[in-house]
Structure 1
Amino acid sequence: MFLDVLFGVLPLFFVMLIGYAVSYSPKFPPSVEPALNVFVFYVALPALLYKVVARADISRGVPFDFLWVTVASTLAFALICWVLFRYLLRVDRGRSLAGMLSTSFGNVSYLGIPVILGVLGSQAGLAAGMGQLVHNVIFMVGFPILAQLMMPAGPGNRHKPSGRRIALTVRNALIYSPVTWAMVFGGAVVIWGIPIPKPLDGTVDLIAAAAAPGALFVIGLSLRRTVQRTLDRRAGTTQTKVRGAKRTMLIMVVGKLAALPLLTVSLLWILAPDLEAMWFNTAVLMAAMPTSATAYIMAQNDTGDGEPTALAIVITCALSVIALPVLAQLVLK
């Protein structure tokens, strides 16, 4: 299992490294990354999710145990992280929220879906789509609302929380998300057996093929900016702050790559021991994804403190090359 997963994820990380390497070329100026990101998020990734859902075997449906254990383990772990940062490390409220996000929210879309399809095969497409949707709903809807409630006067939250602002957060994360609609359309096709013309189906296949390499390439491009931003901010940091930052970072890295997936495994073993291997493995791998690149933007906008998140992205991405195969060898079915 170790070698199977290692050989499955290595090509994905090689694409990320290529993206990182070419970011130093003048042919790839900073303006390229946002354009590629828009293409991947609004075109290629929705095409991939539509494809895997529309062609999935839904005869047995989506296991309820998969959904509720994923939600329960993720929310419980986020609460544990909040307590650790706020009351054990005694960092301020903004950094505690950012730390909780960085330790709990993995790169389930751009990295999680390619990893699961690469390791478990195309038959895991529906599971991968549902897994990323659950994690994204929890954090892309829940975290901005939580930040509004806990930091009403903080950076990015200059107005008191209101029902309208919360409704806008939910709308932007769900109703305006192309990923959500791709899965809805795919589900409609497979449930009602809607016939799709071959030229249209072939077009979707072509676009979907660009999703995984495109997403990984964009992650690689963004790593250079993340590394440079982190180095610039740490240049003037005092030694006392450095020691505190090391403790914070240790919790983020160990929590994201080990503690969250192990908590998920434990709950699955105890509460859903008969869950099918594909759904079991998908839940665990989604929990083990390195810190999401989106987490930096959210932490910076909602708490004004994205520096630890930026560093966590770089470290967890690098270490996940080994952490994922080790985890697979130890706990996957």
Structure 2
Amino acid sequence: MLAIFLKTLPFFALIGLGYWAGRTRFFTSEATAYLTKFVFYFALSAMLFRFAANLSLAEVLDWRLIGGYLFGCTLVYLLATLVAFLRREDVGTAAVEAQCAVIGNTGFLGVPMLTLLMGPEAIGPVMMVLAVDLIVFSSLIVILITGSRDGRMSFAILRTVAGGLIRNPMIVAISLGFAWSALQIPLPDPFNEFLAILGGAATPGALFAIGASLATKSAERVEVALWLSFAKLALHPLSVAFAVLWLFPADPYAASVAIAAAALPVAGNVYMLAQHYGVAPHRVSAAILFSTAFSIATVSLVIAWVSQL
């Protein structure tokens, strides 16, 4: 456990450095926004494309793992929705809270950290988790919020969802990478080096950006944020573990990576969606803040546990 914690510490130290820079205004909100844009559209996309181009789709497309991960997520998603409805929240707010409970920071934190801590073979399961999160749950929240406001499903909602998926650089990078892999064309050395250099900026840039963005987060609706942090950091990995180890038993190593990915703190893109639609952004902000702080300990615990699998 201590060895795992010491390995994860540099990642969270980078987040802490970013937090300090944002808190002291050494790094302004505008600077953080531009750094996030650089990581999102360039560095992380280069890293994901390079990973995907050196994999085959068969190495990632594990239907038992996908089914188990989806089942585990759905259980927690429904529980978070039920708890929100019991507090008499509307559909949009319940959808945002459920999103907090199941969407982790896989892109900015999971990809670099889990591939380093659990080995380069972890990239396949991590990319599977990322794809499910982006395609299934990021679409679902848009459908629920927009549909509840319009009172019905419409072609415009589906067009919005499809447009969001097509414009997401992570989905584009992964898709193009697998297409390149399917053509069985080796990456030319200069291009591969270019991607390696650009992708190398993803890890420090993403972690620093996470910390700097946390400096702007508020801690309102603390009791709700603590519940959502508990759901994300404890219930989500336990639910996924139950599904991928017993209900849909997958390869133990792939299952361990999926469980570790489920233990990651609430993703920043949930806040962006909540702010965009004007639905409970403050409680999402607090959930990101608390879950990231608590994950310094909980992620190490989960990785130490699944490493024994």
Alignment of 1:102-141 (within 5 A): 102-141=100-139
Cα separation, 1, equivalents of 2:25 and 2:83:
43
- Over 3 Å counting, the alpha-carbon distance change for 1:80 and 1:13 in structure 2 is same
Counterpart of 1:165?
Answer: 157
1:146 CA displacement: 1.0
Amino acid at match of 1:53: A
1:137 CA displacement: 1.6
Higher Rg of the two aligned structures: 1
Alignment of 1:4-15 (within 5 A): 4-15=3-14
Tell me if structure 2 keeps the 8 A contact 1:8–1:115. no
1:126 CA displacement: 2.1
Counterpart of 2:145?
Answer: 147
Amino acid at match of 2:225: M
TM-score (norm 2): 0.92
- Over 3 Å counting, the alpha-carbon distance change for 1:57 and 1:278 in structure 2 is farther
Tell me if structure 2 keeps the 8 A contact 1:102–1:252. yes
Tell me if structure 2 keeps the 8 A contact 1:291–1:313. yes
Counterpart of 2:238?
Answer: 262
Counterpart of 1:241?
Answer: none
Counterpart of 2:198?
Answer: 207
- Match status 1:285 vs 2:234: no
Tell me if structure 2 keeps the 8 A contact 1:6–1:322. yes
Q: Which of 324, 327, 330 matches 2:299?
A: 324
Q: Deviations over 1:275-305 (max 9, x none)?
A: 2233112211121111111111212333532
- Over 3 Å counting, the alpha-carbon distance change for 1:9 and 1:132 in structure 2 is same
Amino acid at match of 2:41: Y
Tell me if structure 2 keeps the 8 A contact 1:98–1:303. no
Cα separation, 2, equivalents of 1:276 and 1:217:
33
1:77 CA displacement: 1.7
Q: Which of 224, 227, 232 matches 1:251?
A: 227
Counterpart of 2:181?
Answer: 190
Cα separation, 1, equivalents of 2:58 and 2:140:
31
Tell me if structure 1 keeps the 8 A contact 2:104–2:267. yes
Amino acid at match of 2:195: V
- Over 3 Å counting, the alpha-carbon distance change for 1:103 and 1:214 in structure 2 is same
Amino acid at match of 2:227: I
Farther off after superposition, 136-145 or 37-46? 136-145
Tell me if structure 1 keeps the 8 A contact 2:72–2:241. no
Counterpart of 1:238?
Answer: none
Cα separation, 2, equivalents of 1:5 and 1:101:
28
Hey, which bits of structure 1, 4+ residues long, moved more than 6 A? Answer: none
- Over 3 Å counting, the alpha-carbon distance change for 1:212 and 1:301 in structure 2 is same
- Over 3 Å counting, the alpha-carbon distance change for 1:104 and 1:58 in structure 2 is closer
Cα separation, 1, equivalents of 2:228 and 2:39:
27
Q: Deviations over 1:157-195 (max 9, x none)?
A: xxx7521232122222x2112211211222123333213
Tell me if structure 1 keeps the 8 A contact 2:56–2:178. no
1:46 CA displacement: 0.9
Tell me if structure 2 keeps the 8 A contact 1:46–1:179. yes
Let me know the Cα RMSD of the aligned residues. Answer: 2.1
Cα separation, 2, equivalents of 1:299 and 1:60:
34
Tell me if structure 2 keeps the 8 A contact 1:103–1:256. yes
TM-score (norm 1): 0.86
Which blocks of at least 5 consecutive residues in structure 1 are unaligned? 154-159, 235-244
Which blocks of at least 5 consecutive residues in structure 2 are unaligned? none
1:25 CA displacement: 4.9
Cα separation, 1, equivalents of 2:193 and 2:113:
23
Counterpart of 1:276?
Answer: 251
